[in-house]
Amino acid sequence: MIAYVTVGADDIALAKRFYSALLPALGYELAEGQEGLSYSLPKAQGQSPVLPDFYVKPPFDGCPASAGNGAMVAFEAGNQGQVRDLHAAALLAGGTDAGQPGFRAAYGPHFYVGYLRDPQGNKIALFSSNPNEAGRDG
């Protein structure tokens, strides 16, 4: 099980603007600290944490942050409309388009996905595979 994912950022304020445009809509809560941003899903009292957490932090080695070539973090949305809405919100919040929301021939008939780059260049996917919505072939 993946416990957490961390991406590097040189401009934490810009990263906060970007990630706060999409992660709260997916249920994530933000905690800020001197070490950066921590997004986590809420847990009920007595419940184990809902994983994974998502962290945005300056690199610990003090060097500039860089995006991983081939690395990507995917967040599941509730439906195709939410994928479109969050993709648009993230673009307005400083992200760049890396693939407009839609179906991709390489994936299953209900896999609807949009791709973005955060302000640091990290690749982010927003997807829905809701079987109750129209699929690629219908």
In a domain, 136, yes or no: no
> pLDDT, tens digit, for every residue of 52-108?
999 999 999 999 999 988 999 999 999 999 999 999 999 999 999 999 999 998 999
pLDDT band at 48 (very low <50, low <70, confident <90, very high): confident
pTM over 0.85? The answer is yes
In a domain, 94, yes or no: yes
In a domain, 113, yes or no: yes
DSSP symbol at 137 = T
Q: How far apart are CA 14 and CA 70, in angstroms?
A: 23
Number of domains in the chain: 1
